[in-house]
Structures are given as C-alpha cells and as structure tokens.
Structure 1
Amino acid sequence: MRPKRGKTLRIILRNSRLRAAPALNKRAYNMGVLTIYDDYMGKNAKCNGQDAYSMVTKQTYNAVAHTYGHTRCGKGAWREELQYLLKVLPEKRGLRLCDLGCGTGRVLQFLVEEKVHFVHYVGVDYSQAMLREVQGWMEKFFPSQGISLQSGPILPRLSWLARWLQRLKVSSSRIELVEAPMQEIDPQEEAYDVVTMAASFHHLLSREDRETVLELVSWMLAPGGVLYMSNWQVSDALRTKTDLGEGIWKVHFGGKSGGDRYYYQLSAEELTELLLYAGFEDIQHHALSTGNLVTTAKKPHDA
C-alpha cells in the first residue's frame, strides 16, 4: 500500500566529473546530486487532534533548525546511538540508504565522518528548514556546479548509470532530500540496503501511522536489508512535560532550541510487536546511557 503523492518541487545540486576513490571524501562525490522536494504539505493545510500536535512539532523544528543542527549532528549522545548503525551495516561501500526524519542530516554527516560510502542517499523530513540546513553544509562539503528547479516524484528510482556504478563499486553518489511526512512517502522500488529513523519514529502519534511507516519500510528494503531506529524515552528529569494520555507527551524546550514538541512513548515490547507485524526478524533493542532506545531489525532474505 502506497500513500498518494503530493505536488512537489525539487532543488538539484549537481557536481561534474567522476572519480573512483577508496574512501568517502570530497572527490568521491564529484557525481553527487542533492535534491530537495519542497512544499509537499502546502501552506494552507488545516488539521486538528493528533495532526495538530504533529503540525506544532513541525513548526518548532522549522523555527529552531539552525540551532538544532549545530547542537545535534554527530556530537555527544548522537554518536553513542549511531555507533549501533555501524554495527548493522551490510558493508561500508556501495550502500543505498533512506533516512526517514533526517532532520539536519546527523546520520548523513556521521556516515561521511565514518567514511561509509553510499551510491544513493535519500533523506526525508517534513521540516523544510531542516532540509535547508542539510543543503547548506552539503554545498560547502561538495562544491556545486549549479542549481536547477524541476518537479518530480517523491522517491525517484536510481538511474541505470548509478546502478552500473554500484555494481562496479565506483565512488559515485546521488543524494536527495525530500520534504514530506514519512507516512506519506511513495517509494518507487524495493532496493534500499538500509533505512534509518533516528529520533523521528517517536513523533508518529497514531498506531495507524506507525504501522503504515513500518509496512512502507519493509516494502522498500531489499531482502536482507536493515532497519535502524532510535526512540526517545521521556525522562523523569524533564520538568516541562505534560502527559496527554494514550502514550502521548508534550514536552517544552527552552532556550534557542525551544518550543513544544509531541512524542509517543515507545517501549521495546510495543516496538517488537509492530516490527513482527510488519514482517521483520532479528529484532534487537539497546538501552543507551541517556535512557533512549535503539532498535535494529532485518527484512528476511526470502521476503
């Protein structure tokens, strides 16, 4: 089951020339493509209930994107969480990865720092401001040859050229950023080696949305593909939290990264149930020093 597509706009950053490189660096990505799909939700969207909570969370992330990016990407507790991603990667070259709820690109930046090479990275987030932050540091790291605008599908297929380069293990990459809620993406093929949801799945407030996303992830992963997610556990130390019932919490953050955000409190038991229902196996949970929960799972090879 695929949700219907929305009207999109994308910004493409293209780099010229192709080179092979043994590890991830600027030269390794001279064929890189950076894409942002814009205005997916529309400016006049109306909502209520859980949808209203989600819209408030989105507005908060839009407002704090710049500060959030400078305090999150690859630093502190994030590195502890993402080390588990390295442990489950099928390999460190030629990967196809979809990052749902990519935010300001902490997973992408971590992979760059760890010299993990991928031929296709798709980052999805409903916050346009967050995606602009990714675009900003990507343009500095991979100098652009020009930017063009065009419409297109949410998750386009990988080109025949990129597939050929993937088979040859040549260091070339396509990087795309998609503005859309993760539960409404339209994956075009079953081909991703890894799907990540770093501190994003917990923003899905309804069970229907959680089941939809996991079914989409199960479909879009290649057989044997890996799912990685981290979910926030509402800390007792937080004084500005409000229990709204049914597992939903409103948390207010002060300072420059302030604003209201809404979370669903996920337990390891509930995650296991959801993942089994979606057809995953080899489910593992890891409790972090922060109290947060990292979960990994695999799509069966015979699926």
Structure 2
Amino acid sequence: MSAAVTPVTIALTGGAGMMATLLRPYLAGAGYAVRLVDLAAASDPGPNESVHVGSVTDPDFMADALNGATAVIHLGGLHREKTWAELVSTNITGTQVTLEAARQNGVERVLLASSTHAVGFHPTEAAARDSVLSPRPDTYYGVSKAAVEALGSLYADKYGMKVVSARIGTGGERPGNLRTLGSWLSPADSFRLVEATLSKLGAPGHHVVWAVSANTRGWANLDAGKRIGFEPQDDAEAFAAGVDTTARDEWADLLGGAWASDSHRVGVDNYPHLAVK
C-alpha cells in the first residue's frame, strides 16, 4: 500500500474576502490544504480548509498561522483609499509582518496582492510597451502597494524567497463595465497565477507581474508573468454583451482611471457606498 501524500498547505490571507472566496474552489479542486486567514471568519470551510481569525499586523498570530505552510497568498489588506495611518498599518506593516512570518517558518513562495494603482499615473499605453513599469502611484493606497512590492523585493533578495507582486487589474466573478473589459482578472486566471508562484520558474527572485486575464481589449504586457509560467486563458470579451461598450471613459488614458483625477481625494474613501473586501 502506498503512503498517503500530504497535501501542499497554502495560507490565504484575506481569506474571507471577495477574491479569496472566488479562488477557494480552484484551490480545493487542486487538492491544496488551505488556511483561511482573516479578521473575519471565512464562511463554509471545506474538508481541506481551516479558519484562522486574527490580524496580519499581529506577529505572533501570523507566525502561528504560517507554521508548516508551503506558500502564502497575501490578499489581506485595505482595498480602497483610506487615511495614511490606516494604510500604513494594514497594507505596509501587515505585509512586512506576513513576509517576516513566512521567513521565520521557511516559506519560500509568496504571492503579494499589488495593484494597478501602484502605477496609476502612467499612461495606459505605457503598460503595453513595458512589462514592468516603475512605481507611479495615484493615491496613498497606490503608495502602500508600491511599498508592498518593495518589501517583496527585499525579502526575495535578502532571504532567497520567490515573491510575486501581482499588479491586479480588476478582480471579480465577471467584468462589470467598459474599463474592466480590459483590466479583468478571472478567478480561474488568479488560480493560474498561484500555480505559477508555486512553480520553480524564477525561483528565487522577485517578480512584478500584471494580474490580468488574456482580454481582447487588454492593455497589459503579460511577458513578465509568462516568464514565471503565468499564462492567462480567460477573456473578458465573453461578457461584453452584458456591458455598455458605448459609455465614454474620460480617464481611460491613465492606468489609475478616475483615481488619478483631481476629484479623487487623497486619504479619503471616495466610494464609501461600495462594500469591497
């Protein structure tokens, strides 16, 4: 009788959030053991999932949550513009605590959620020319994501880890407007990015990649992701019939869109009515 194979254990911060919820079925289907790490308890844990309630800013909690893990998918953090103090505490310090807990536990694969807003003041056309744009944030939130990338670079270089900083376009089950027909990252492609992070390609090292699907209207140069094995397959165009494609996007020429406009105030949640986790 052959010995049972121990499943690879992945710690998923932000485990109760939208992107994690969409990702979880793919991780379960691939047989991974998943630790759902969040301030809120993730709902309906499956047989290979465990729930860990606590903050990514708590070193002791994170050291325990990552004990024995093979990889970390770090989606935990604030996903809107907030005050400087809030963003520093949750997004920057929370990422440093997560990376340090990973280092202490010998975790050598980490996927960090960065954002388009780390490069929001670049012209959209620049993203097609260059596979890795230099930081040009459009908000304090964007600054926090640029800092996330810098921390990923430090831990990859200093400690020989493979860290992937994923500049997420727009997550969600499906694209919802004209802009997201170009920026959408499908749940299945987010799983493909996890698989690329776990692969041996580009290890050790820090890799800044676009986390965007293979959209017909996409603007992103996907070469950096392909170098680590990330080959997105989905296309937002499949949902175009349900989207108003005649609507004018007056901020389409900047990657940050409206976030780079004068009306989007720094340090203020400009969309408090949108409940985004």
TM-score (norm 1): 0.37
Ranked by relative contact order (alpha carbons within 8 Å, sequence separation 6 or more), the top structure is 1
Q: Which structure carries more strand by proportion?
A: 1
TM-score (normalised: structure 2): 0.40
